[in-house]
């Protein structure tokens, strides 16, 4: 029996042009056909997609909380976070293309810096980044039923942005976990971009990289803002691309040259960011 993954691969072989290109050329973003397609998608989204996603979130959160004490966070991710994220992408569905995987060494710890356009970025990264990592996330996520406790059990880092001292303290406590191939991931923009353009970077990711003497792995994500925009609950299928760039070594930099380091990483992410 064909799996969802095989069906997606078959689709991409049969239609070598991307789904995103097909949708945009055949169904103009503001055209009547696109509006009709989005309207027809709504019953699936609210009657099937959203309920299944909520159910899967509860299920995989429980699995994570149960397994972490026995298997540890790294192994538990294979049974909880990764299948949860991939299932969420399959349910949309979205079509993913990955480039630059050769730049990633699973045995190396990194400070990962990715642009942020949509909540869908979380599913893409968790499902397919392929390395163990801890996420730097807002304190408010801790309050989400099931998910908050699962993220806490997995060792992710919660920061309170309204309290800079507490945020710094949280990062300091997390540094001990970033070793032996475990990385830490930041969205250096701090929040999702409303229009897809790269926003100003905050310094947390870069200070952490300098303190730990770790390379920074820049990641560009394209396409998620058309699937689920900021401050919107409307979802629509599309194509997403995740690009890994060559790591940026931090050894030549000091805190005094942090701005130079930020510019290099920002330029790397920007170089593949779709307009």
Q: How far is CA 119 from the centre of its chain?
A: 8
What pLDDT sits at residue 25? 39
> Is CATH 2.60.40 the right assignment for the domain spanning 4-271?
no
For each of the chain's 275 residues, which pLDDT tens digit applies? 444 445 444 444 544 444 444 334 345 566 788 888 999 999 999 999 999 999 999 999 999 999 999 999 999 999 999 999 999 999 999 999 999 999 999 999 999 999 999 999 999 999 999 999 999 998 999 999 999 999 999 999 998 878 877 778 888 888 888 989 999 999 999 999 988 899 999 999 999 999 999 999 999 999 999 999 888 999 999 999 999 999 999 999 999 999 999 999 999 999 999 97
Domain segments of the chain as ranges:
4-271
Residues 6+ apart with CB under 8 A from 127: 82, 85, 86, 88, 89
Which tokens is 39 given?
């309207």
The pTM score is 0.87
Question: DSSP label at 139?
Answer: G
Contact predicate 81/156, CB 8 Å: no
Residues 6+ apart with CB under 8 A from 154: 64, 68, 73, 76, 77, 80, 81, 134
């Amino acid at each position: 029996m064909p799996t969802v993954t095989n069906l997606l691969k078959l689709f991409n072989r049969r239609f070598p042009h991307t789904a995103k290109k097909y949708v945009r050329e055949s169904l103009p973003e503001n055209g009547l056909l696109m509006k009709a397609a989005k309207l027809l998608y709504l019953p699936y989204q609210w009657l099937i997609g959203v309920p299944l996603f909520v159910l899967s979130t509860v299920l995989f959160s429980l699995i994570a909380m149960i397994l972490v004490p026995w298997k540890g966070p790294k192994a538990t991710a294979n049974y909880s976070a990764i299948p949860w994220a991939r299932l969420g992408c399959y349910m949309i569905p979205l079509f993913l293309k990955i480039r630059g995987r050769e730049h990633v060494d699973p045995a190396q710890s990194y400070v990962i810096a990715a642009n942020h356009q949509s909540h869908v970025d979380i599913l893409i990264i968790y499902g397919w980044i392929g390395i163990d990592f801890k996420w730097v996330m807002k304190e408010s996520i801790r309050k989400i039923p099931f998910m908050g406790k699962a993220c806490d059990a997995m060792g992710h880092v919660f920061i309170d942005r309204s309290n800079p001292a507490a945020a710094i303290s949280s990062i300091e406590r997390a540094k001990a976990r970033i070793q032996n191939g475990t990385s830490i991931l930041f969205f250096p923009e701090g929040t999702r971009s409303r229009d897809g353009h790269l926003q100003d970077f905050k310094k947390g990711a870069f200070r952490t990289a300098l303190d730990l003497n770790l390379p920074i792995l820049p990641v560009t994500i394209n396409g998620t803002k058309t699937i689920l925009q900021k401050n919107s609950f409307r979802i629509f299928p599309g194509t997403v691309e995740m690009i890994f760039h060559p790591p940026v070594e931090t050894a030549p930099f000091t805190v005094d040259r942090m701005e130079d380091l930020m510019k290099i990483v920002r330029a790397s992410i920007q170089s593949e960011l779709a307009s």
